[in-house]
Amino acid sequence: MRITELIPSMFHRRLLLLLLAMGVPLAGVVAQLARLTLSDQAGNLAKAEERLVRHQWTPTIRGRILDRKGRVLASDRPSYNVTVSYAVIAGDWPREQASVAAKRAAGHTWWDVTPDERRALVADFLPVYLDHVDRFWTTLADRIGISREDLDQRRDRVISEVERKFDAAVRVRLESAVAEAKSRDDDQTLDVLEPLLAAGASSEYLARIAEAIRTAKARGDSFAEATLKSLEKTCKQPIAEQRGQHTLAARVDDSLAFSLDLISQETVAPSLKLLNADRVSLIDVARVPEVPAMPGLRVSDSGDRAYPYESIEVEIDRVSLPAPLRSDERAVITVDGVACHILGRMRDRVFAEDSGARREFLDRNPDLAEAASGGALSDRGGYRDTDRVGDTGIEGSQEHFLRGLRGVQTRHLDTGEVEVLGAQGGRDVALTLDIMLQARVQATMSKELGLAVVQPWHHQESSTQPLGTVLSGAAVVLDIDTGDILAMVSTPTFTREQARTDPESVFSDQVRMPFLNRAIAKPYPPGSIVKAMVLTEAITRGLHTAEQRIACSGHLLEDKPNILRCWIYKRFQTTHTAQLGHDLQGDEAIMCSCNIFFFTLGARLDTAGITAMYRRFGVGNSFGLGVGVESQGHIGFIEPGTNRSPNDGSDLETPDAIQMGIGQGPIAWTPLHAANAYATIARRGVKYAPRLILGTPRPEPVDLDLSQAAIDLAILGLQKSVTDKLGTGHHVRIDEHDEVTFNAEGVMVWGKTGTADAPDLIIDPDQGGPRRAYLAQEGDHSWFVVLVGNDRPQYAVSVLIEYGGSGGKVSGPICNQIVHALKAEGYLK
């Protein structure tokens, strides 16, 4: 049936048509409403409810670092920085604000007027905000207590620094655009972009691009114009520094910080006295928004880290010093940068790697991850832009423990209820160090005391070390019973202030290398200090016996008197056999440090035996103390282009084993390796892993199964070395007098000297460039390692002085002073 028959009235048909036409939008509306309410309800409700709570972090405190006696070596102290946003510093803010105000005041008129009128309106408002900012600077300078000129200078410094960084960023963006075009083989784009990189004033890239756009436009080259315009857009992107806050006054006191923080939240109506009134009919000044009284100002909690023992005054009794330095007056020495290598430093910038490292740490420590999560919230210990991060040393390695967990304040806006999840301070980390002993050891090696300075009695033969040269070195004091590191000094050291203000002097001095922790990070040839270990190994292996004697013939090979000589033959043209009147037993060989004896044992041990010996005593492994770079030492030759050696003897031959019998040839270790090897001998062959952090789990001690007779013999030799007149560590000859090396009363010392032939230090300032390489240091490294105790070996002390010369003459007196330091700090009676 036709519709006209069903509904004869056309008007009624049309009404029906209109009604049906409404069905289409109705269906759409109902469908969308159903989608929102029925299928997305849960998500929408959750999102809406999120608005009912506000979370706010509350600050936490970083854990302290303590020494073994509970002295606080590092702790947080409240401190505040006064920062201002870059937009205000650089003067963009008044323009932005004028534009906002003009737009608001004009209301809908804004859209009706011409662009020129809009610009004029903004210009009308500009003086208002320029004046506001100007008054802000004056007030701020007044509040921080500096002159307006000083404040302006600080601003200028920030601006020039940020502009420099921006220019560098623009250049990098330009270069990457070129590189990208190159990778696409896009010659057309390259032709446009490459001329921009041509040499010239470095900071003119944006101007150059603008100029190039004008030229392209004039030429009608639309491709170049479009390419350059898109490049300009990329290059103009602000860098982080242009969006961030910049410190204008660091570490201000609490009261100033609090008062500025309060003012920073105040807003005021801008004074419109300076408003240009020409166009006032277009605007409603009542709509001009309020502005912060102190625009861009923010007081940030800088959470300054304090290191109260960074600088320590030490009193040293000079009575026990060698005669030329001896005095009845006590020396008062201020040592700076105490344990700086160990405690490490903080940095102000957060890197992406930090967050990655934290995630890994939390993955490994699910219980800590649980504590950090704070319920539904993200990691309470996570990194935020303004955080300070432990960078090096203990601050770096223990970062995740030291770092606290922020508190969370959850405010339920609807009920007004506030839930507080308290901040949790970071864990304290207690070190095995005794900071006062550390300071004393450092003072012992200071320029002021004079022991680590080239002295006449050193008989230094090196051309690079004239009299008065301050020597670099390292010393380690180990507690034999526990393996605790009581002191670990590397000189020269540096202060945090120095690293901040003059980083070149810390990180770029290739000769003195203050940043380097010589006690663990640099391997040195050990020289004669290994003789005790070689003896125990040879006897343990049955290649020698406690009673067997070896003749010192002056030179090992009968027909070659110029190589493999004993030091006594080299210097005095005699032999130890002649000196003693008989061939040498093991203890005597250690006492006189006879090379022929140990060449012979080296030959008997051969490559496999000598390699096993060094490995047994720790070479080839580092200790994992967590205070930065550690060297594992090396056995064998360094593979070219790497810093590694095979460490398994595979590249050694018998002549190498002979040399290694006296600690020369392809062998090197660190002062910590040396102290630990001696502590192992003192424990009669039981090896502990040295530790620096109290309470950390350690690997089980390892019994090396050394022959006890051999250990007795070695310990006897070490004792004779410092107590027998013929011992190399017994005395130092000064001004025709023999001075006993160790003079602490009531203390027993077992020790061994080492004078190790060292490779020359040649510095090539520009790595193969036009500047000539030069010989910076040459000569022997000076070693002395002792075991000390009141009645038994309690502490192992190793001292190394780089290019210092004779072990007995240079390191001996330093070692003696460390024994005195142990007494002074109560470790020895």
Q: Which residues bind other proteins (CB under 8 A)?
A: 1, 4, 6-15, 17-19, 22, 25-26, 28-30, 32-34, 36-38, 40-41, 43-45, 47-49, 51-52, 107-108, 110-111, 284, 413-414
In angstroms, rounded to a whole number, what is the distance separating the alpha carbons of residues 25 and 257? Answer: 60
Q: Quick one: CA dihedral 349, 355, 360, 365, positive or negative?
A: positive
Nearer to other proteins by Cβ, of 411 and 512: the residue is 411
Pull the structure tokens for residue 174. Answer: 């330009």
Nearer to other proteins by Cβ, of 31 and 179: the residue is 31
Query: By three-state DSSP, how is residue 775 classified?
Result: strand
Nearer to other proteins by Cβ, of 15 and 773: the residue is 15
Residues in contact with 338: Cβ distance below 8 Å, sequence separation at least 6, in sequence order: 309, 310, 311, 312, 435, 438, 439, 442, 493
In angstroms, rounded to a whole number, what is the distance separating the alpha carbons of residues 679 and 792? Answer: 12
Residue with tokens 């010369």: 805
Shortest spacing between CB 109 and other proteins, in angstroms: 8
Shortest spacing between CB 290 and other proteins, in angstroms: 19
Pull the structure tokens for residue 445. Answer: 């090696």
Beta bridge partners of 369: none
Residue with tokens 């002159």: 147
In angstroms, rounded to a whole number, what is the distance separating the alpha carbons of residues 311 and 303? Answer: 21
Nearer to other proteins by Cβ, of 43 and 324: the residue is 43
List of long-range contacts for 314-320, beta carbons under 8 Å, 24+ apart: 314/436, 314/439, 314/440, 314/443, 316/440, 316/443, 316/444, 316/449, 316/817, 317/820, 317/824, 320/743, 320/744, 320/816, 320/817, 320/820
Shortest spacing between CB 124 and other proteins, in angstroms: 19
Which amino acid type is present at position 681?
I
Shortest spacing between CB 7 and other proteins, in angstroms: 6
Shortest spacing between CB 115 and other proteins, in angstroms: 12
Contact present, 570 and 555 (Cβ < 8 Å): no
Nearer to other proteins by Cβ, of 114 and 642: the residue is 114
Shortest spacing between CB 11 and other proteins, in angstroms: 5
Closest CA to 465 of 810, 714, 73: 810
Contact present, 675 and 477 (Cβ < 8 Å): yes
DSSP string, 484-536: BEEEEEEES---HHHHHH-HHHHHS-TTT-TT--TTTSS-B--GGGGHHHHHH
Shortest spacing between CB 108 and other proteins, in angstroms: 3
Torsion of CA 519, 524, 525, 527, to 10 degrees: -40
In angstroms, rounded to a whole number, what is the distance separating the alpha carbons of residues 16 and 738? Answer: 127
Nearer to other proteins by Cβ, of 287 and 792: the residue is 287
In angstroms, rounded to a whole number, what is the distance separating the alpha carbons of residues 324 and 737? Answer: 11
Nearer to other proteins by Cβ, of 23 and 220: the residue is 23
609 CB-contact burial (10 Å; exposed 0-12 / middle 13-18 / buried 19+)? buried
Q: Where are the beta strands (DSSP E) in 180-339?
A: 245-252, 267-268, 291-292, 297-301, 304-306, 311-316, 331-336
Shortest spacing between CB 229 and other proteins, in angstroms: 21
Shortest spacing between CB 415 and other proteins, in angstroms: 9
Residues in contact with 542: Cβ distance below 8 Å, sequence separation at least 6, in sequence order: none
Shortest spacing between CB 309 and other proteins, in angstroms: 50
Shortest spacing between CB 27 and other proteins, in angstroms: 11
Nearer to other proteins by Cβ, of 233 and 571: the residue is 233
Nearer to other proteins by Cβ, of 18 and 376: the residue is 18
Nearer to other proteins by Cβ, of 4 and 222: the residue is 4
Nearer to other proteins by Cβ, of 17 and 557: the residue is 17
Shortest spacing between CB 255 and other proteins, in angstroms: 36
Nearer to other proteins by Cβ, of 107 and 289: the residue is 107
